[in-house]
């Protein structure tokens, strides 16, 4: 079992918070990590993927959560949203920390059936696919170094090495799969299962036949600005329906758009985000590429390498002390920075991703513009 960097933060949260919610895409290791904590802390475990367990939770939510050893781990809690109201009532009656550890493969707090908030009673943590550090058994320190806490040296990598890392992604099940055909088979089954199960359950729609094609279009536009009009034309999906589908893909942790950064916070909400899927390996599969195609053509590698870097930074931000938020930056004159990180105290740093053999002065134009916009906050 691989050590997950988020484990220590979950233990801290369970020590002082009544409810801890662990969210993220399916097959990122939430169940494995939750069961490990449950066993270590002497709690009880129930999975709502089990039909009988789900039926019992839906029939009597209050009875289901009553008199269970803490922490009571409820896996895939989005399957029975009524449980959250019962958990709220149980916590209001007994505020001891560490009573419930919940996991969810959909964004539970955004589900329409959740009418009662657990605000002030619950801490939410996201488990992403494995980071490179978790795969290789080390803890990354890039974000701390970026904001001035120490030196950092980038390991050297050939283009073929980068292409292999981008195509492999970080889902735990795939780390040991060297055969590209077996990885493709896993990704195909994975996407089918999510679209036919989670998306259908959330939307109460049986078909959603446009979803696979939409995902492929998004993967082909990896790292591009989200242009709703163009995406609507290419997918032949009306914009109103398209917005709903994109929201469903975010709810199930397949799509993670990167919002725009601006010194004016209100403008961040109206500027177009960048398209990024949650995992570069998934994007490579959906776009129809493989390691050889990425290594052979920089125009293929560049956008997906950027998605890979965004994924790695997102994963590191989930366990690094202090809140770090990710954005992209683009000026009206076309200068841009691939990733903007806004860290503790409002400090700002920029990360530029280039799939090229050499770097020229012009490659820093976007970073200079970001530094000018951020002023004294630029780190």
Q: What is the pLDDT of residues 277-320, one digit of tens each?
A: 999 999 999 999 999 999 998 899 999 999 999 999 999 999 98
Q: pLDDT (tens digit, 9 = 90+) per residue, 134-163? A: 999 998 988 888 887 667 777 777 888 899
How many other CB atoms are found less than 10 A from the CB of residue 124? 16
Q: What is the pTM of this model?
A: 0.92
> Mean pLDDT for the chain?
90
Tally of CA atoms within 13 A in the half-sphere of 246 that contains its CB = 22
| pLDDT at residue number 269 | 56
Residues 78-104 as b/e (b if ≥16 CB within 10 A, e otherwise) read bbbbbbbbbbbebbeeeeeebbbbbbb
Residues 226-239: pLDDT tens digits?
999 999 999 999 99
What tokens were used for 335?
Answer: 């200068």
Pairing of strands 325-330, 336-342: antiparallel
- Three-state SS at 341: strand
Kindly list the distances between the CA atom of residue 4 and the CA atoms of 107, 117, 185, 318, in Å, as whole numbers in the listed order: 21, 28, 26, 11
Residue 206, pLDDT above cutoff 70? no
Residues 191 and 286: their CA atoms lie apart, in Å, by 9
Predicted pLDDT at 146: 85
Angle at 117 between CA 269 and CA 127, to 5 degrees: 65
pLDDT in tens, 207-229: 467 888 999 999 999 999 999 99
């Amino acid at each position: 079992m691989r050590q997950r960097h988020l484990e220590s933060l979950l233990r801290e949260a369970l020590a002082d918070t009544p409810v801890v919610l662990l969210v993220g895409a399916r097959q990122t290791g939430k169940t494995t990590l939750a069961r490990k904590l449950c066993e270590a802390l002497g709690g009880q475990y129930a999975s709502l993927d089990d039909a009988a367990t789900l039926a019992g939770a839906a029939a009597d939510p209050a009875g289901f959560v009553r008199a269970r050893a803490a922490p009571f781990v409820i896996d895939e809690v989005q399957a029975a949203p009524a449980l959250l109201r019962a958990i709220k009532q149980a916590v209001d009656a007994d505020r001891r920390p560490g009573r419930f550890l919940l996991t969810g493969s959909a964004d539970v707090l955004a589900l329409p059936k959740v009418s009662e908030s657990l605000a002030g009673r619950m801490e939410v943590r996201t488990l992403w696919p494995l980071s490179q550090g978790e795969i290789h058994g080390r803890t990354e320190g890039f974000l701390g170094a970026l904001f001035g806490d120490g030196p950092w040296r980038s390991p050297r990598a050939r283009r073929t090495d980068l292409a292999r890392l981008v195509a492999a992604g970080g889902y735990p099940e795939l780390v040991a799969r060297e055969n590209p055909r077996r990885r493709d088979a896993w990704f195909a089954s994975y996407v089918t299962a999510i679209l036919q199960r989670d998306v259908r359950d959330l939307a109460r729609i049986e078909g959603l036949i446009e979803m696979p094609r939409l995902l492929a279009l998004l993967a082909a536009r990896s790292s591009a600005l989200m242009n709703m009009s163009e995406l609507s034309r290419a997918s032949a999906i009306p914009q109103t329906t398209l917005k709903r589908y994109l929201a469903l893909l975010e709810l199930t942790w397949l799509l993670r758009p990167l919002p725009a950064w601006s010194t004016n916070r209100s403008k961040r909400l109206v500027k177009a985000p960048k398209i990024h899927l949650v995992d570069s390996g998934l994007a490579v599969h959906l776009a129809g590429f493989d390691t050889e195609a990425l290594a052979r053509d920089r125009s293929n590698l560049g956008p997906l390498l950027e998605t890979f870097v965004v994924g790695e930074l997102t994963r590191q931000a989930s366990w690094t002390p202090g809140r770090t938020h990710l954005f992209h930056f683009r000026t009206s004159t076309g200068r841009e920075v691939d990733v903007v990180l806004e860290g503790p105290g409002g400090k700002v740093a920029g990360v530029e991703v280039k799939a090229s053999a050499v770097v020229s002065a012009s490659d820093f134009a976007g970073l200079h513009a970001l530094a000018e916009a951020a002023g004294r906050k630029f780190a």
